[in-house]
Structure 1
Amino acid sequence: MEYNLYFDYENKKAEKEAFENVLKEYESQEIGYYHLPESSMKFKDINFEDFSEIAIIGIGGSSLGTKAIYEMIKNKFPLKKMVFLENPDPIDLIGKFKELKNPLFFVISKSGKTIETISIFKKVIEHFKLKPKAKNLKIITDPGSPLEKFAIDWGIECFNLPKNVGGRFSVLSAVGMIPLKAAGADIVSILQGAKDFRDRFFEKNELHLLKKASFYARNYKIYPVNVLFAYATILSAFKEWFVQLFGESLGKNGKEIMPVGHIGSIDQHSFLQLLMEGMGHKTITFLQIKNFDPDFKIPNINLPYLNATDFVNDHTFAELINKECEATKEALLAKEYPVDEIIMESLNLKNIGELIMYYEILTSAIGSLLEVNTYNQPGVEIGKTILRNKF
């Protein structure tokens, strides 16, 4: 993968501080996500009975990362269909229930008491007539949680994630790796890609990350918004994962770097206008896939009255979308936005693992320089308390 920064900034003191902060987290093992590439390898040999679909009952960090990986790879690798029962939206749930013919359910909640997840789980029990010792039901939760106690009571297989791994950092744990393995994904390659990037970072071979983190953290009052412009429809769920990761980790103590996720070229026809002629004050990250597969071409057809578009005839769609990315990047650079880019040479499982680890370490580095607790979410907890008092 290729990482390029198109802004001139150097703060060696901040870069050194960021590196020392995340190194301390890594070596102390207080923050567990750094070590998931090794610890989650134990799931590679797990086998499940044959079910038609994999259904995830979970929300936020319990589903977004898994969905991000699945959406990226579902059309390239032979996988079972995955259905995500996330939101307590009755229309959405009714529609998804109809999609499930022979599902394997995973109920995922770190705390074991997520209101949306448990409410949907109750409806699944009723609708699909689940009983104790059900073979098509698995639980993923913290050790000792109420959900684990339920699993023991019902005789349901239960998997744990480390207590020192937060939900939004948990995709490389049992939360993501076990359901993806059940769907048929090669989780070893995903974990290896994450490990390779982590090792290179701590060997000081990915210094661009520290430069970017120090720029974001030291200039958050000038540039309080980071826009991720991802140039592939299959990256839609990834941008949702990014929004949670940045938003819940970095918005604290009156400080924030607001994450905004967009898909190119679709959002060039809406949000780009705001970027070009709005207030500015945003950093822009372009994420693109260099080599798409298969080689899908625009036909060399000349249509009456439509010849203004013929200059792209006989070129691939990959060329079109990537040149649109380059053109948008050049336009924003001309407006003097701080721009960086992440280029995946191709869409493969190791690159996906690397991308996840890159963003997790970047978030930790920025949070440490902002002097916020990257791993808690007190604002979210207050809302949960208010909700309980409304019933």
Structure 2
Amino acid sequence: MCLTIQDALSLDIDYLYGQSWSVREDDLKAHEEQINRAAKEVSEIRRNGKGPDGSHVFFPHLPYLYEENLLIGDDEKQRIKTLSEKAKEMDAVVSIGIGGSYLGNQVLFDLFCGPYWNMKSKEERHGFPAVFFAGQNVDPVSLLKLTEELKRRSGEKDNYKVTLLVISKSGTTIEPTTAFHVLMKELSGFCDVSVIAVTDAEKGELHRLALENNWDTFTVPGGIGGRFSIFSPVGLVFGSLIGLDTEEFLRGARTVEEFCQSEKWDENPALLLASLKYIGTSEYGLVSEVIMPYGDALRSLGWWYAQLLGESLGKKYNNDGQIVHAGRTPVAAVGTTDMHSLTQEHQQGKKNKLFQFISVDSPSLDTKAYCMEGESEGFVQMSRMLTAAMKSNAEALASEQRMSCRISVSRMTPYHLGALMYFFFLTIAYEGSLLQINAFDQPGVEAYKKILHQYLRSFLQ
């Protein structure tokens, strides 16, 4: 069965639904009460903007960020839209953030800039700056090597302009805070350094510093968790700095939001996929989910989805306070690379994994390659090789009765990426309601942070 959401994306569930060994229609009927309840709960979140614990959950408003005044004001919208022109005055941008403040922006960079972006001349980048990432790890080696590279570049041009885009709601998260202070100290001696802060609108250490230093400031809206923030200024500011059409990006999300509002599973692809995953987990013993996009540029999309899945559904307690230890372990892979490293275990290891393949039907670049198969030889489009490898993987897994689904977009544009990423938001929201857990908090993350701060206090000099 293949479902389409207008011209945005397609969902193929042939190896997840309808097989004798997969989720079946009678499973959906047996869970009809839970599915109906979950559908209504997400509809209620759309209406009242509140999660299971009563806290604000505004992600359904993100596709309408430029149209509504709920999350940011008109002045901020306009400043985001004009950032693309200001970006052309910059030589380099360093995006500083971790988790949701990093992973989504890495996806945007990988898909619309690519690995050789910084090797291009400014003219070849159409005037846009070189881009670097920092603050996604407490790693002194990578951070100081970045400063060395920026120092080298500054020696090739007078008045080399570096913008630090620091993204942190609180301004106290260890990784971005450390990177920001080190870079400010190290770069100020040889670069013209400016700062753009994306942070809380009213409070926090970064907010205070931004006011004191008159930095350009944008808002991390309330009611938007980090892993849901790519359609907020967290992602849109970065997107504008690399020339992304942010209005098209939001339009893709809006297409999915408006298509997937039905409370009937057979009319709502996001609700259906969430229901199939929920049943596969609760009734068929699926404990892991392998997200496997095909294509190097999509690798970071797997990392981004792993955070979304893990932080949203990996919960100890349900909404009634009962211990449930919900969720599936996310595993990020990439095709075809990991068909030569992980597929052996996928094919013949424990039958406890769900596979989610992602593909682009018509990549932006393609070429023919020589191919010899038995007595036959000739040339094949490499994009067809990639698609054939993905289909072969799915069919081989199905021969061992292992469930998978495939989500595809016709092309990779800002519109299609917006649709794809927002579709994942909805599936997670629906499955969280099916599990009766809060998919919008992350209490487990705080446990290690408390211990970490104790260690750091003991190291202070």
**TM (normalized to structure 2)?**
0.78
Instruction: Please report how far the alpha carbon of residue 154 of structure 1 lies from its aligned counterpart in structure 2 after TM superposition.
Output: 1.5
The 1:45–1:267 alpha-carbon spacing in structure 2 relative to 1, beyond 3 Å, is same
Is 2:291 the counterpart of 1:228? Answer: yes
Instruction: Please report how far the alpha carbon of residue 5 of structure 1 lies from its aligned counterpart in structure 2 after TM superposition.
Output: 0.9
- Give, as a single letter, the amino acid of the residue that structure 1 aligns with 2:104: G
Is 2:132 the counterpart of 1:73? Answer: no
Instruction: Please report how far the alpha carbon of residue 363 of structure 1 lies from its aligned counterpart in structure 2 after TM superposition.
Output: 0.9
Is 2:86 the counterpart of 1:48? Answer: yes
Instruction: Please report how far the alpha carbon of residue 128 of structure 1 lies from its aligned counterpart in structure 2 after TM superposition.
Output: 1.1
Question: Secondary structure at 1:279's aligned position in 2?
Answer: coil
- Give the Cα–Cα distance (whole angstroms) in 1 for the partners of residues 374 and 86 of structure 2: 51
Does the CA contact (< 8 Å) of 1:139 and 1:159 recur in 2? yes
The 1:130–1:240 alpha-carbon spacing in structure 2 relative to 1, beyond 3 Å, is farther
Instruction: Note the alpha carbon deviations across 1:60-89, whole angstroms, 9 max, x for none.
Output: 111101111221111498554321102121
Name the structure 2 match of 1:304: none
The 1:130–1:35 alpha-carbon spacing in structure 2 relative to 1, beyond 3 Å, is farther
Instruction: Name stretches of at least 5 consecutive residues in structure 1 with no aligned partner.
Output: 301-306
Paired residue total:
383
- Give the Cα–Cα distance (whole angstroms) in 1 for the partners of residues 227 and 376 of structure 2: 44
- Give the Cα–Cα distance (whole angstroms) in 1 for the partners of residues 223 and 63 of structure 2: 15
Is 2:353 the counterpart of 1:314? Answer: no
Name the structure 2 match of 1:215: 276
Instruction: Note the alpha carbon deviations across 1:77-121, whole angstroms, 9 max, x for none.
Output: 855432110212122212223343432211101222101111111
Question: Secondary structure at 2:278's aligned position in 1?
Answer: helix
- Give the Cα–Cα distance (whole angstroms) in 2 for the partners of residues 265 and 328 of structure 1: 9
Is 2:206 the counterpart of 1:147? Answer: yes
Question: Secondary structure at 2:369's aligned position in 1?
Answer: coil
Instruction: Note the alpha carbon deviations across 1:24-72, whole angstroms, 9 max, x for none.
Output: 1111123112111222462323442511222111111111011112211
Name the structure 1 match of 2:344: 273
Name the structure 1 match of 2:218: 159
Instruction: Please report how far the alpha carbon of residue 157 of structure 1 lies from its aligned counterpart in structure 2 after TM superposition.
Output: 1.6
The 1:68–1:40 alpha-carbon spacing in structure 2 relative to 1, beyond 3 Å, is farther
Is 2:242 the counterpart of 1:179? Answer: no
Question: Secondary structure at 2:231's aligned position in 1?
Answer: coil
Name the structure 2 match of 1:244: 307
Instruction: Note the alpha carbon deviations across 1:241-262, whole angstroms, 9 max, x for none.
Output: 0011111111112112111111
Instruction: Name stretches of at least 5 consecutive residues in structure 2 with no aligned partner.
Output: 1-8, 19-23, 51-56, 68-76, 118-124, 154-160, 317-324, 457-461
Q: Tell me how large the CA RMSD over aligned residues is.
A: 2.2
Does the CA contact (< 8 Å) of 2:368 and 2:381 recur in 1? yes
Instruction: Note the alpha carbon deviations across 1:177-212, whole angstroms, 9 max, x for none.
Output: 011101211111101101111111115686222122
- Give the Cα–Cα distance (whole angstroms) in 1 for the partners of residues 138 and 196 of structure 2: 20
Name the structure 2 match of 1:95: 145
Instruction: Note the alpha carbon deviations across 1:249-289, whole angstroms, 9 max, x for none.
Output: 11112112111111000000011100111011111111111
Does the CA contact (< 8 Å) of 1:69 and 1:238 recur in 2? no
The 1:175–1:110 alpha-carbon spacing in structure 2 relative to 1, beyond 3 Å, is same
Question: Secondary structure at 1:48's aligned position in 2?
Answer: helix
- Give, as a single letter, the amino acid of the residue that structure 2 aligns with 1:259: P
1:2 to 10, 14, 18: 10
Alignment of 1:223-372 (within 5 A): 223-253=286-316, 254-299=325-370, 313-372=378-437
Question: Secondary structure at 2:426's aligned position in 1?
Answer: helix
Does the CA contact (< 8 Å) of 2:137 and 2:175 recur in 1? yes
Name the structure 2 match of 1:32: 58
Instruction: Please report how far the alpha carbon of residue 13 of structure 1 lies from its aligned counterpart in structure 2 after TM superposition.
Output: 2.9
Name the structure 2 match of 1:303: none
Is 2:448 the counterpart of 1:383? Answer: yes
- Give, as a single letter, the amino acid of the residue that structure 2 aligns with 1:346: R
